Amino acid sequence: MRRPPLEVADIIRAAGELFIEQNGQVTFRWRDSAHHNEQKLMTLSVDEFLRRFLLHILPKGFVRIRNFGFLANRRRSTLLPLCFQLLDTTPQPPAEEHSSSTEDAAELYRCPHCGAPMKVIERLTAAEILLRSPPEVTAAA
């Protein structure tokens, strides 16, 4: 079942006093975190407002992941080194990703029949596997 399309009037009604629509323009209040969370007003065209608003809605099946605290974007560069210093450790460089090769396969993938290393040629998603699989055969009645 699909959701009904969003309308500007519905968004404005749901948000209450935060939005004012006049002559195809939407004025809304926003918080400027760069200037001590000062509240400001911004006026945009309806199209631009909806474009920015819809950037905050995730597609179906996606989950929003945010970093807080010492991993927040704004403070990560100062707090992460401090965390390593307090833990008396050094940051580990990111592990390099290797392309599939026979040496890698020796540890990960072995043939179930002969035990020889296998090389990954292609990885498929579940949807691709279903598209490539043969059709289901049903018994004739």
pTM: 0.38
User: Does some domain include residue 92?
Assistant: no
What pLDDT was estimated at residue 106? 46
What pLDDT was estimated at residue 11? 65
Helix/strand/coil for 139: coil
Per the structure, the complete domain to which residue 46 belongs is given by: 8-54
Instruction: Tally the C-alpha atoms within 13 A of residue 27's C-alpha that lie toward its C-beta.
Output: 8
Residue 60 tokens read as 């179906």
Q: What are the strands of the beta sheet with 25-32, ordered from one edge?
A: 19-22, 25-32, 38-45
Residues 10, 50: contact at Cβ < 8 Å? Answer: no
| DSSP at 132 | H
Per-residue pLDDT of the chain in tens (141 residues, 90 and over written 9): 455 566 666 666 666 556 667 788 888 888 888 888 898 888 888 888 888 878 878 888 887 777 777 778 888 888 888 888 888 888 777 665 555 454 544 456 788 888 888 887 888 787 777 777 666 666 665
User: Does some domain include residue 19?
Assistant: yes
11 CB neighbour count, 10 Å cutoff: 17
**Lookup result for tokens 């179906």:** 60
Residue 21, C-beta contacts closer than 8 angstroms, at least 6 positions apart: 8, 9, 12, 46
Number of domains in the chain: 1
